[in-house]
Amino acid sequence: MGTKLSAYPYRIFVKRLNRRGYSCVVYDYPRQVVLGGDMNLWRRLFSDITADAQKRIKTYEEYGVTHFYSYGVSMGTLFANMLARSTPEISHVILNLTYGDVARNTWTFKGVKKAKLSLISQGIDEETLRRSITYLDPIFNAAGLNGKKVMLHLARHDHIFPYEQTKHTKYAFEASNLDMVYLENKYLDHLPAATKNLLSVKSIDRFYSS
């Protein structure tokens, strides 16, 4: 959200993957898309990105490409998760610091307070939001990742996605018997932990090659 591809560490991430033979398609979107609190726009954004990625995959297959993966960081894990669930060609997905309960996070994290206030002004409370966005909630949709290989990163000291919330995503994935690699950072906060994971390209390569 609101990240320029030219900015570190995303530029390094893409370059390192390129050196290992991967081609990357990166999706980004303005902060106002989220902070505006327009749930119809949210659904359309997810739908449009999924449709675009699937169209690209069909084109790449015509050129002989046979392996497809998704990778999401922070809020982007919602896109990576949904894309993997809805796209048979994607075999592996990496969720680099994902949510627990998305509605609870929206209601408690100060960084998206504008979105919360916008929702309240529309007469939408936390429970209404929760029912309206089940299509992107990682816990509700855990079983949808069956048949995929999943790498899940969480951080114990994450102040943006509190571990008390995100650990329930891990439990839901385990209860769904997903083919999962779980990696937990016990020391770093959200941004440094996400960056460390993002730049661990050897680990990413090993996972995608498994």
| Cβ neighbours around 174 below 10 Å, total | 13
Adjacent-strand bridge partners of 185: 155
| Phi (first) and psi of residue 91, to 5 degrees | -100, -30
- Specify whether the CB–CB gap between 143 and 152 falls below 8 A: no
- Within 8 A by CB and 6+ apart from 66, the residues are none
**pLDDT (tens digit per residue) in 127-161:** 999 999 999 999 999 999 999 999 999 999 999 99
**b/e for 138-156, b at 16 or more Cβ within 10 A?**
bbebbebbeebbbbbbbbe
CATH number of the domain located at residue range(s) 30-208 in this protein: 3.40.50.1820
What is the full per-residue pLDDT of the chain (210 aa) written as tens digits?
667 656 788 889 999 999 999 999 999 888 888 889 999 999 999 999 999 999 999 999 999 999 999 999 999 999 999 999 999 999 999 999 999 999 999 999 999 999 999 999 999 999 999 999 999 999 999 999 999 999 999 999 999 999 999 999 999 999 999 999 999 999 999 999 999 999 999 999 999 999
CA distance 191 to 188: 8
Do residues 86 and 50 make contact, with C-beta atoms less than 8 angstroms apart?
yes
Strands (E), 39-116: 68-73, 90-96
Q: Where are the domains of the chain?
A: 30-208
Q: Say if strands 90-96 and 179-185 run parallel, antiparallel, or are unpaired.
A: unpaired
Structure tokens at 83: 């894309």
